[in-house]
Amino acid sequence: MTPRGLTVAVLIALIGRDALAQGIVGGTLIEARSTRPLACWDVELRTLSDSVLARSVTRSDGTFDFPAPAKGAHRFRFSAFGLHPLEATFESAGPATDFEGAYSASLVLQDPTGARMQRPLTPGTPRAVPGRGGPRYPDQLRSDGIEGDVFAAFRIDSAGRVDSVGAFVWGATHREFERATRRALHDMRFIIEPQPGRTPCAFVGTPFLFRLSKP
């Protein structure tokens, strides 16, 4: 074989290998207001007809990725317990596609009134450990007959501990309710049911309702 023929053969081999290379699609998920990365959110790669092709979980830096799907329009669906999901569409050029996007999620509770809190938990929902599941009612506010609410969203690690430093707390009707909630997050513990192929962590949004018992 001549040197020229050898060069052509090598080029053909390289082109064939590149054509079969598996691409990666993914990106980074952040919180809309603070731009902080959101970890432990569930991510699904879906077709536009809502068939689920693959599932993953965002990493500590908010990143995620999947093997690139077939050519056509697809959708990422981001979800976390107790929060409204986020969906975003992207176009794949085929399995060799490399694509990375940036996505921002607003933390909006699905149940800000707590109306669903007494319903049976869906499979995989983190469960609070008894006695480690909520804030203490501030004595002065209890004495004054003041009720209120606080909204919170936070990551739970594989040991069931809350990332209290990175927690989002908003909507407090009184600053003492917010302080009580932040203190409680440090001590709260949860049980996360193992799920095949899923990192044992979770992101949860929930209201904390401070209510006084009626006489």
pLDDT, tens digit, for every residue of 86-130?
Answer: 999 999 989 999 999 999 999 999 988 876 554 555 666 788 888
pLDDT of residue 95: 93
Give the per-residue pLDDT at 116.
57
Flag whether pLDDT at 20 surpasses 80.
no
Distance, CA of 27 to chain centre: 13
Per-residue pLDDT band at 141 (split at 50, 70, 90): very high
Strand partners, 26: 65, 100
Residues in the chain: 215
User: What pLDDT score was predicted for residue 8?
Assistant: 42
- Say which DSSP state 48 is in: T
pLDDT digits (tens, 9 = 90+) for 143-169: 999 999 999 999 999 899 999 999 999
> Is the pLDDT at 7 greater than 90, yes or no?
no
3-class DSSP assignment, residue 189 = strand
pLDDT of residue 96: 93
Measured distance between the N- and C-terminal CA atoms of the chain, rounded to whole angstroms: 98
pLDDT at residue 10 above 60?
Answer: no
Task: Using pLDDT thresholds of 50, 70 and 90, give the confidence band for residue 19.
Answer: low
The three-class DSSP label of residue 6 is: helix
Mean pLDDT, residues 191-207 taken together = 84
Q: Domains of the chain: which residue ranges? A: 25-105, 127-210
- pLDDT value at 174 more than 90: yes
Asked if 44 contacts 50 with a C-beta cutoff of 8 angstroms, the reply is: no
CATH superfamily of 127-210: TonB (3.30.2420.10)
Mean pLDDT of 40-55: 95
User: pLDDT-derived band of residue 12, with 50, 70 and 90 as boundaries?
Assistant: very low
Grade residue 72 by pLDDT with cuts at 50, 70 and 90: very high
Tokens 């490399």 -> residue: 98
Domain 25-105 in CATH 2.60.40.180? The answer is yes
pLDDT, position 113: 82
Answer for the pair 82, 109: CB distance below 8 angstroms, yes or no.
Answer: yes
Which letter, b or e, does each residue of 126-155 get, where b requires 16 or more Cβ atoms within 10 Å of its Cβ? bebeeeeebbebbeebeeeebebbbbbbbb
Pairing mode of beta strands 127-128, 190-191: antiparallel
Structure tokens at 133: 């599941």
Beta bridge partners of 190: 128
